[in-house]
């Protein structure tokens, strides 16, 4: 029996001459910078751009755009003699079924510098992501900027710098998730594209990031530094320039997948709920004793968070920067939430200039992508002292307060322990309706009693026959008044709850939060997110 669906064998008549031209160019592009340079990339422990795309994207989902663009040389008869592909590879693909725009630098062609690329490709890539409203994933390795000094001989003149893609790079922050992975040395414009993102990750010991590399720094600043000393992962993560660092490229791909599973594909879409086996009614009695009765004793904030949110769902961002504030994504009964918390092991969780900037950026991110915020509050206020004044902590703290008050997403505050001063007032926008409860360990006011007693009662204590006895009596009276139950009696806090019941209450709240978001006109909400 004849198979009528069988394709006829290819014959010369069915194979036009241009097929060979197309295949030759595709084959040359697949070879990237050639076998020797590909081997050098592997010897340095790094994948090639095409291996990275295969490792990140769902199998077989990548559709390349501009794959045969490059620099070609022809003979006098117009026959192709040599073809070098551009070193920016991009297109569309899928990550866990979600369509994304993805592009990356090919370090095997002129070390990822733009003098081996075509700038229109980057413009097209960024514009495609924004206008199709799909996430933008950048795999960065190289400078991606104006090219080397050597390129000036080729073009025959110098030029005034410009960046024709930058409007789209910036606009995308307010339109779609932008994820950047540094997978090798990154400098100049490549570094600017790294940090102009919602989430960034680098590979330890493999990726460094700097404005200019060691050779330029040695010449211009007389500093003799290695790549790691100048822009290694500890430097750039502790400065807040980069969010996370991992050990391998595969781990970087996994973090990209995790962030994209939390964020919606664009600002006009709500985040997706996932199935979970963790019961929304689960209680954890251990929470009742996690906060020490001694107010100066620290505790493990991350253990508190793990006890409340869906099992295994916590994903922390920026742990090495602004350590007194914890920022992470998590899920409640499958719903994505953005989580803020204080870490009393760092400056007693006081707000520093760094942690305030970290808070501002994270709140802006949550508000941009319609992710409800859950704030576990332990905030003794803006850090005092000379370091705080020298770093402008009050300015950054006021900016964090503004970000909280400008946020429009549903907001829940669980007051775990302290809430004092300007920093404490950033625990929520008090003029909006929101879910707020306190734990029995709650402690709040304009100033902590321990710090404010001496100033407030200075004259009384000075005139007392026994200042120490007088001080002890005043402190006893004030400690009676500071009980959180007295605040609840005056309805200055909505409820004092059993800490063990925190998860069920938040799971009930998050359902109503997403029901509210579902009725919101996301097209009318003005957003502006900055790196």
What mean pLDDT is predicted for residues 477-498? 86
Dist. CA 415–CA 304, nearest whole Å: 12
Rounded to whole angstroms, the Cα distance separating 123 from 121 reads 5
- d(CA 195, CA 193) in angstroms, rounded, equals 6
- Integer angstrom CA distances of residue 167 from 22, 113, 122, 381: 34, 21, 12, 38
pLDDT in tens, 398-456: 999 999 999 999 999 999 999 998 899 999 998 889 999 999 999 887 656 666 666 67
The predicted structure's pLDDT at residue 469: 80
| Three-state secondary-structure class, residue 231 | helix
Which candidate, 328, 392, 315, places its Cα nearest to that of 358?
Answer: 328
Per residue in 340-392, pLDDT tens? 999 999 999 999 999 999 999 999 999 999 999 999 999 999 999 999 999 99
Q: What was the pLDDT predicted at 144?
A: 61
pLDDT value of residue 297? 93
Residue 421 DSSP one-character state: H
pLDDT in tens, 173-206: 999 999 999 999 999 899 999 999 999 999 999 9
In three state form, how does the secondary structure of 115-131 look? Answer: HHCCHHHHHHHHHHHHH
**Of 501 and 21, more confident:** 501
> Residue 339's CB: how many other CB atoms inside 10 A?
27
Q: Where are the domains of the chain?
A: 15-260, 285-446+484-518
Question: Are the C-beta atoms of 121 and 86 separated by less than 8 Å?
Answer: yes
One fold for 15-260 and 285-446+484-518:
yes
pLDDT score at 263: 98
CATH class name, domain 15-260 = alpha beta
Which is nearest to 284 in space by CA: 513, 436, 495, 439?
439
Average pLDDT over residues 156-175: 81
Q: Are 452 and 471 in contact (CB under 8 A)?
A: no
Q: 363 near 403, Cβ under 8 Å?
A: yes
Beta strands in 222-334, from DSSP E residues, in sequence order: 244-246, 315-316, 325-332
Nearest to 26 by CA among 109, 103, 89, 74: 89
Q: Mean pLDDT over residues 77-83, rounded?
A: 80
Instruction: Specify the higher pLDDT residue, 407 or 118.
Output: 407
Average pLDDT over residues 29-57: 93
- In this prediction, residue 1 carries a pLDDT of 46
Of residues 185 and 21, more confidently modeled: 185
| CA-wise closest residue to 135 among 98, 168, 97, 166 | 98
**Reported confidence tier of residue 85, pLDDT bands at 50, 70, 90:** confident
pLDDT: which is higher, 461 or 506:
506
Domain 285-446+484-518 homologous superfamily, CATH: 2-enoyl-CoA Hydratase; Chain A, domain 1 (3.90.226.10)
Range name among 29-33, 162-166, 200-204 with the lowest pLDDT average: 162-166
Tokens found for residue 118: 């075509």
Tokens 């090495």 label which residue?
320
DSSP code per residue over 53-84: HHHHSPTT--EEESTT-EEEEE-TTS-EEEEE
Q: What mean pLDDT do residues 39-48 have? A: 93
What is residue 322's predicted lDDT score, i.e. its pLDDT?
97
């Amino acid at each position: 029996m004849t198979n009528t669906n069988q394709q006829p064998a290819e014959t010369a008549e069915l194979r036009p001459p241009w097929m060979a031209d197309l295949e030759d160019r595709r084959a040359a592009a697949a070879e990237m910078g050639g076998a020797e340079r590909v081997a050098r990339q592997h010897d340095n422990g790094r994948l090639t751009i095409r291996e990275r795309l295969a490792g990140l994207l769902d199998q077989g989902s990548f559709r390349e755009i501009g794959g045969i663009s490059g620099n070609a040389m022809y003979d006098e008869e117009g026959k192709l003699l040599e073809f070098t592909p551009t070193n920016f590879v991009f297109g569309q693909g899928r990550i866990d079924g979600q369509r994304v725009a993805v592009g990356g630098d090919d370090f095997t062609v002129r070390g990822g510098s733009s003098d081996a690329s075509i700038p229109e490709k980057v413009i097209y890539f960024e514009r495609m992501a924004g206008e199709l409203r799909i996430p933008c994933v950048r795999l960065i390795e190289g400078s991606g900027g104006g090219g080397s000094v050597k390129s000036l001989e080729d073009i025959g003149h110098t030029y005034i710098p410009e960046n024709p893609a930058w409007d789209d790079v910036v606009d995308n922050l307010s339109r779609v998730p932008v994820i950047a992975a540094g997978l090798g040395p990154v400098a100049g414009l490549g570094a600017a594209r790294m940090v102009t993102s919602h989430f960034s990750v680098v590979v330890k010991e493999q990726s460094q990031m700097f404005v200019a590399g060691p050779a330029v720094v040695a010449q211009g600043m007389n500093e003799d530094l290695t790549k790691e000393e100048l822009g290694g992962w500890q430097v750039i993560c502790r400065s807040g320039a980069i969010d996370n660092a991992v050990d391998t490229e595969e781990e970087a791909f996994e973090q990209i997948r995790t962030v994209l599973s939390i964020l919606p594909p664009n600002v006009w879409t709500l985040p997706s709920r996932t199935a979970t086996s963790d019961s929304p009614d689960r209680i954890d009695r251990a929470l009742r004793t996690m906060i020490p009765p001694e107010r100066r004793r620290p505790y493990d904030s991350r253990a508190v968070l793990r006890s409340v949110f869906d099992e295994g769902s916590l994903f922390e961002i920026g742990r090495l920067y602004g350590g007194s504030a914890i920022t992470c994504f998590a899920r409640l009964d499958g719903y994505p939430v953005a989580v803020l918390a204080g870490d009393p092991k760092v400056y007693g969780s006081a707000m520093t200039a760094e942690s305030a900037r970290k808070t501002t950026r994270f709140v802006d991110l949550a508000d941009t992508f319609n992710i409800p915020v859950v704030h576990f509050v332990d905030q003794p206020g803006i850090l005092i002292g000379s370091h705080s004044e020298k770093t402008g902590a009050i300015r950054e703290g006021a900016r964090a307060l503004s970000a909280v008050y400008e946020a429009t997403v549903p907001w829940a505050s669980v007051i775990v322990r302290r809430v004092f001063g300007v920093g404490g007032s950033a625990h929520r926008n008090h003029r909006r309706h929101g879910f707020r409860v306190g734990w029995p360990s709650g402690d709040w006011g304009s100033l902590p009693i321990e710090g404010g007693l001496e100033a407030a009662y200075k004259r009384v204590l000075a005139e007392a026959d026994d200042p120490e006895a007088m001080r002890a009596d005043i402190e006893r009276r004030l400690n009676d008044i500071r009980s959180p139950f007295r605040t609840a009696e005056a309805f200055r806090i909505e409820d004092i709850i059993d800490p063990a019941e925190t998860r069920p209450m938040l799971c009930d709240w998050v359902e109503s939060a997403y029901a509210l978001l579902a009725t919101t006109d996301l097209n009318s909400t003005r957003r502006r997110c900055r790196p």
